[in-house]
Chains A and B, each alone.
Chain A
């Protein structure tokens, strides 16, 4: 039997396209450090003098760390990010100290042991007052307030901000734990997922969506979280679990 005839005028061999693919993520970051403009229009800074620039420490290794961060716009730019999570959260006890060089300082330990009150700022006194108020609350009150805070944050994230990734294989099993750190004013200082940089594939996408939700919902000042309970909500852990939504 003959082979069927085809209209060869219409059938042209598909072209092999020479494509060289180079992952330029790292290259870009390095290049962009040199190109990066000064902090954006939201937070203009006066032009720095060349001689002053020479005194500045070397640029941070990652581009994003040198970019203007909306969430941290209210923080002093020079404040270094400590690697320890809890140490970075603005705690009342830390604020009460006049910037100790180290948490393990002998002076600080002595202060704790001797319970000698130190000189305090107005903010610290306010925080202490809130703490005292909290102590006066009954444990039932605290539980009620905590549940109310949880419900408010949960409702905002669920109703307004979380767009869970769907369609991935086993998307329903992609659970993510996010650590969120808030200021007394409800500003988001940091949101992070453990091992985020080492994640890949659908799990990384699930983590991305959870982080986007936390960042998109910021600030949380509209929830009017009780300041006397700040110690309860300065750090919030959120477990993003799409199993009930996506089968």
Chain B
């Protein structure tokens, strides 16, 4: 027995030696070209004979594909291949002929179908394919009322984005912002809401009083904002689902710069009284208020860290306006910005790795990011005037507003919403019906 064991071990040893006789080259790949991923998005196949209140199912399928294409292209991470280049326009339920998709340069492919169900809903399903790996990467099916096709398109965009980037998407989200119109001295400012791509736009207030600083709750469809109703600035809470609003307490002095805590249960804000401004936090359920800073300098623009342990804010307690971070109980205040110029409006990224800010120096305004300890400051964009950054819920994109100077002929002064990728590329204007300022990004809708 022992002899057999020895013989077997010897044989295995000889075989192993033989198999590993060839050397293996090992190469380090450390450079590449960051560029948009080429993706082919086929029209979701549907029947022209199945008619819904929102058109034929074939039209719905085609429109969903167009919205997905626009979503993914706007992210800057994908380049959609022109459908006119497609070699295949075959039924989307068939398995793709990967060689044909590879021939047109596609590395990912989206196919799918839209079908009218007996109960009047539309069943939409899609599949994401890895063209080079010839595998299906993900596939999902949705049911919805036909009129909600646009939201289904955003949900599909989010699913594709997540599978291809590894991060949550941000397409099924909305933006609240201040819609501006009228001359400089008689500016009408209204609260407005729209999908992140600018569709489904609605005004939420009539413009008879000024609205500022709208902020989305990270957990519900609620907005907090500053209203000058009856010429008294106060922080209000507005429920989008019910359309009802309520004032957050009656304070002496002026309350402003509100922002929700990450769990949506508190609102942190500034309160100015007798020329001084400090930071307070209010528990929404009990309306109990806690003062976090008590300093003769102006402390304002507070923003919680994602888990609520810290608060970033700006203060001129050091002589100039700079960024500070403190514990959420107001202790351990540390200055984090030390660059030239003035820093303002710190906003903590939802993923916690960065704080976005507005910087003013040399007669220009900048939007930038830095780590919570103040290191790694990076400027993403600059212009004559821009401020008010807000994060996409995945912490990948910033939206802000930019104002152009007035010219000598009475023109100029436009105010626009813009977005930029965290990498500093892919800066795009967000189109609004009128001028827009002070955007706030919603969390992903449930």
Contacts and interface: CB of A to CB of B under 8 A. Distances in A.
A103 interface: yes
B423 A166 contact: yes
B317 interface: no
B219 interface: no
Contacts of A19: 142-144, 152, 155
Nearest to B38: A163
Interface in A195-247: 201-206, 208, 210-213, 215-216, 231-245, 247
B30 A245 contact: yes
B29 interface: yes
Contact of B125 (A24, A91, A232): A24
Interface string A118-162: 000000000000000000000000000010011001100111001
Contact of B132 (A10, A149, A216): A216
A42 interface: yes
Interface string B134-145: 111011111111
B189 to A, nearest CB: 13
Contacts of A93: 18, 21
Range of interface residues on B (Cβ < 8 Å): 35 or more
Interface residues of A, number: 93
Among B25, B35, B204, B230: residue with most chain A CB under 10 A:
B25
Contact of B167 (A35, A202, A235): A202
Among A13, A22, A23, A166: residue with most chain B CB under 10 A:
A166
Contact of A202 (B24, B35, B166, B229): B166
Interface string B67-108: 000000000010000000000000001110111101000010
Interface string B236-268: 101011110111001000000000000000000
B23 to A, nearest CB: 5
A7 B205 contact: yes
B166 to A, nearest CB: 4
A236 B142 CA distance: 43
Among A14, A35, A238, A243: residue with most chain B CB under 10 A:
A14
A103 B15 contact: yes
Contacts of B33: 159, 162-163
Interface string A75-108: 0000000000011000101000000000110000
B12 to A, nearest CB: 8
- Of all A-B residue pairs in the complex, the 10 with the closest CB atoms, nearest first, are A162-B32, A205-B166, A202-B166, A11-B243, A4-B229, A215-B132, A231-B22, A64-B135, A158-B31, A7-B206
14 contacts: A1-B247, A64-B133, A70-B99, A86-B20, A104-B15, A150-B25, A150-B27, A153-B25, A158-B30, A202-B166, A212-B107, A235-B25, A237-B27, A239-B26
Given A19-B143, A20-B142, A245-B30, 5 more contacts: A8-B243, A25-B136, A93-B18, A104-B15, A231-B23
Interface of A: 1-8, 10-15, 17-25, 27-29, 32, 35-37, 40-42, 63-64, 67-70, 86-87, 91, 93, 103-104, 109, 112-113, 146, 149-150, 153-154, 157-159, 162-169, 201-206, 208, 210-213, 215-216, 231-245, 247
